[in-house]
Amino acid sequence: MSIRFAFFDAKPYDIAAFEPHIGQDIRFKFFETKLNADTAELAHGFDGVCIFVNDTADAEVIDHLCEAGVKLIALRCAGFNNVDLKHAAGKLTVVRVPAYSPHAVAEHAMAMLLCVLRKVHRAYIRTRDFNFSLNGLTGFELHGRTMGVVGTGRIGREFIRICKGFGMKILAYDKFPAKDADFDYVPLNELLAGSDIISLHCPLTDDTYHIIDADAIARMKKGVVLINTSRGALVDADALLEGIKARQVGAACLDVYEEESDIFFEDYSGHIVQDDTLARLIYMPNVIVTSHQAFLTDEALSAIAATTISNIREFFADGKCQNEISYKKQG
């Protein structure tokens, strides 16, 4: 008998990545809609749900899923801040993909940085209008600059490796420093004050929520460049906007945004975006916003699909999974 899964927030690239890995033992029903309190009823009769970063699995949704007979929430991502693990404890199991391709995210972070520093985005627009003037396109080199990296998991360490290839100095901060690190750890305040560029590579927790706020920005070097490819709520978006307006922040590269859940992954090109902060950030000449695409490579999508399906098979075969996350483990 096949395991039946409701796959929420399904995009064409998700379906293309998962279909080659699906066997006779698992059947997916792909839904374009996101999981939330209004759509949880769609999971009725399924053994589990497969969700992504902007799906909602709060207490209300979890209760709906339990009533519908769902036994497993399979996250096809590393982050799990959208799941109420405390409420899920003892009711259903939650598993995730702890790592898929650190290269994908780290390379995207560097691509955004090079683009904003050398003003490639502005040059691209100009030359399409046959404007070949170099006025206003002066950038600065990475060699010899100090990169501050907040979070030194697999992605953070891969990003550090890339930065070293550019001849950069590294300052790192992590609540749980790696014992085998070949770079220097410093307190967060020292990193903020001493870095020319700061890149965030940490999960969103109670401790890291708004880790970059108005106070943190005030402690940074004037003209600092900020990169965020992790979770939007690591950065207070309003404080960032004010920092840019005050010239305290020289540039920002954002692949994630604090209030992205109702905007990112969708086409709003024919609509008026109601989020004034996001609209103002996008129109800043020294800000690059991409739509949570750092993970989006063929290699990463394939790895996500393979691990997610492996998690499902392991749980339904053994009743447990090595990639399970629980309130007890995180509390």
Supply the residues annotated as catalytic.
231, 260, 292
Cβ atoms within 10 A of the Cβ of 101, count?
A: 21
Q: What sign results for the dihedral spanned by CA atoms 38, 42, 46, 50? A: negative
CA distances from residue 201 to 71, 158, 313 in whole angstroms, order as listed: 31, 10, 30
Closest CA to 74 of 128, 35, 106: 35
Query: Backbone phi, then psi, for 220, in 5-degree steps?
Result: -80, 165
Cα dist from 294 to 96, 102, 229, 259, 326, whole Å: 18, 10, 7, 17, 26
Both tokens of 103, joined, read 């290269």
Tell me, letter by letter, the H, E, C secondary structure of 237-252. HHHHHHHHHCCCEEEE
The number of CA neighbours under 13 Å toward the Cβ of 6 is 26
CA distances from 324 to 9, 97, 132, 156 (A): 21, 9, 54, 23
